[in-house]
Amino acid sequence: MAQERQQHEWTLEQYRSHLIEEHRRQEQFRQDEHDLDEFLDAYNLTSAPISLLQRKVL
């Protein structure tokens, strides 16, 4: 019985850790998107043709 409880608690902790990591990854993705938008706006690239953007990046 105690072993089952430990296993259950471990599983819950793993799940909780996974949710926290997933949330962190989503937040980082949103921040990266925001930073990219700010960069494009700062250099007035938002309306630039994609070929120009590719040349700037590559």
pTM of the model: 0.61
Owning domain of residue 19: 2-57
Three state DSSP letters for the chain? CHHHHHHHHHHHHHHHHHHHHHHHHHHHHHHHHHHHHHHHHHCCCCCCCHHHHHHHHC
Q: What is the pLDDT of residue 39?
A: 86
pLDDT at 44: 76
* Number of structural domains found in the chain: 1
Residue pLDDT, tens place only, 1-58: 889 999 999 999 999 999 999 999 999 999 999 998 888 888 776 666 666 666 665 5
Residue 42 pLDDT: 83
